[in-house]
Amino acid sequence: MYDDLFLFIKVAHIGSFTKAAKELNIYQSTISRRIVSLEQSLGIKLIVRTANHFELTAQGQQLFESLNGQEASIQNKIYSALENREQVFGELKVMLPRTLTLKIITPRLPEFMNRYPKLKLRILHQNHEINLQKDNFDFAIVWNLPDQQAQKVKLIHRANIVSFCTPQYVEKYGLLNDIKDINKHNILVLLRDHGEIFNRISLHHTKTNQSDTITINSRIFTNSYAHNIELVNTGEYISTAFDSLVKKDIANGRYIKVLQDYTFDTFDFYMLKRVEDDYRINIFADFIEECFKDFNN
């Protein structure tokens, strides 16, 4: 009954069975069946629906107004009373960065899903600013401090950039170790999601303490780390990446770090939560923090 009650609140908030079915990724017929089941359990009519019309009854409107925004509080009380992971149900809509979380979070997702077998995750891997309320996300990790300061924000990771190539590249083109030679090499440049070329980089020389900003003249621009790696593996290109993605491959000799005397700008990633006291969001946030803590250690 509780699950159907939360579904009713969601449908009433959206105001459409069709939009609710699309948003929740379930069939309209399933929504209809569960609303009817809830009405039978409560002994009242909640929604009047025709082919082209959707309206709450007076009792439905009263129930919606009483419970709207209280889902998290109700669920928290249920979880706290039962102290049973199998009672953590529902779905979280999550946005994670395309590449940063590839080695830090993705391999550990089965561990989280096994802890909470009735919880569902809908994960979109994207890199852009987001308003959790407006875009209807429960949780996100974003690059750079978001403009929407009303959202719950926490710095979760400071990522370092490294540049690298294969030993075969070094044999053929030599090792890049001076920024004066950077445009003599074949370097892949990243595109942001909206297509902006990200080819100006700032570097700091660790021995001279000199900082420089340079523009890379590349012939290939992509927004895909996976495709960049395949291009690097041909032995024809240098690429950059978050150190979390390639540090093991650099350590075992598969890749060679270039510009070894330089450090790049760091990138700050922030964790956003739509609701601070939602038990489901909090346990996922705790899991994410655990992943980053273990990785950093």
Tens of pLDDT along 111-159? 999 988 888 999 999 877 788 888 889 999 998 776 655 567 889 998 8
Helices (DSSP H) in 103-166: which residue ranges? 109-115, 132-135
For the chain, where do the domains classified as CATH 3.40.190.290 start and end? 161-265
Residue 17, pLDDT > 50, answer yes
Longest dimension (CA), the chain: 78
Structure confidence at residue 82 (pLDDT): 47
Task: Give the CATH number of domain 161-265.
Answer: 3.40.190.290
Mean per-residue pLDDT, 36-40: 84
Q: Is the pLDDT of residue 52 over 70?
A: no
Q: Is the pTM of this model over 0.75?
A: no
**DSSP E strands: which ranges in 51-132?**
53-56, 90-96, 119-125
CATH topology of domain 2-67: Arc Repressor Mutant, subunit A (1.10.10)
Rounded to whole angstroms, the Cα distance separating 91 from 19 reads 16
**Per-residue pLDDT at 148:** 58
Which part of the chain has CATH 1.10.10.10? Answer: 2-67
Evaluate whether 163 touches 237 at the Cβ level (below 8 Å): no
pLDDT of residue 93: 93
Question: What percent of the chain is helix, strand and coil (3-state, nearest 5)?
Answer: 40, 25, 35
Q: What local confidence, expressed as pLDDT, does residue 193 receive?
A: 65
The confidence score (pLDDT) of residue 143 equals 84
pLDDT at 112: 95
**How many other CB atoms are found less than 10 A from the CB of residue 256?**
19
- In CATH, what number does 89-153+268-296 get? 3.40.190.10
Query: pLDDT exceeding 70 applies to what percent of the chain?
Result: 88
Residues of the chain with CATH 3.40.190.10: 89-153+268-296
